[in-house]
Structure 1
Amino acid sequence: MDAKELLRRYDAGERDFRAIILQHTDLSRVKLDSVNLSGACFYSVNLHAANLKNVNLSSTEWSDCNLLALQFWLCNLKDAIIEHCDLESARFFDCDLRGIRISLSNVSRAAFTRVNFQDAKLGGSGEDPCEFWDVIRPDGVLIPGFTFHIYHSS
Structure 2
Amino acid sequence: MDVSELLARYEAGEREFHNCDLIEANLIGANLSGANFSKANLSGAHFSKANLIGVNFSKADLSKAILMGANLMGANLCEADIMEANFSKANLCEANLGGADLIEADLFEANLTGANLIGAKLIGADLTGANFREANLMGADLFEANLSGANLSGANLSGANLTLANLSGANLMGVDLSRVTLMGASIDGANLNNLESIHCE
TM-score by length of 1: 0.76
Question: Does 2:92 correspond to 1:77?
Answer: yes
- Which residue does 1:25 correspond to in 2? 50
- Give the deviation of 1:74 after TM superposition: 1.5
Q: Deviations over 1:94-151 (max 9, x none)?
A: 21111111012211111201111111111243383311121111328x9627x65677
What are the within-5 Å matches in structure 2 for residues 1-154 of structure 1? 5=7, 11=17, 13-14=19-20, 15-58=40-83, 69-126=84-141, 128-139=143-154, 144=169, 148=186, 153=198
- Which residue does 1:66 correspond to in 2? none
Q: Tell me which amino acid in the other structure corresponds to 1:25.
A: A
Asked if 2 retains the 8 angstrom alpha-carbon contact of 1:108 and 1:125, the reply is no
RMSD: 3.0
Partners of 2:89 and 2:149 in 1: CA distance = 15
* 1:9–1:57 Cα change, 3 Å: farther
- Which residue does 1:65 correspond to in 2? none
Count of matched residue pairs: 140
Q: Larger Rg: 1 or 2?
A: 2
* 1:12–1:86 Cα change, 3 Å: closer
Partners of 1:113 and 1:49 in 2: CA distance = 22
Partners of 1:19 and 1:124 in 2: CA distance = 28
Partners of 1:127 and 1:97 in 2: CA distance = 15
- Percent identity, please: 21
Asked if 2 retains the 8 angstrom alpha-carbon contact of 1:85 and 1:105, the reply is yes
* 1:9–1:37 Cα change, 3 Å: farther
Q: Tell me which amino acid in the other structure corresponds to 1:51.
A: N
* 1:134–1:11 Cα change, 3 Å: same
Asked if 2 retains the 8 angstrom alpha-carbon contact of 1:44 and 1:74, the reply is yes
Unaligned runs of 5+ in 1: 59-68
- Give the deviation of 1:9 after TM superposition: 9.4
Q: Runs of at least 4 residues of structure 1 off by over 3 A? A: 7-10, 124-127, 147-152
TM-score by length of 2: 0.60
Partners of 2:66 and 2:97 in 1: CA distance = 17
Bigger strand fraction: 1
Partners of 1:144 and 1:100 in 2: CA distance = 21
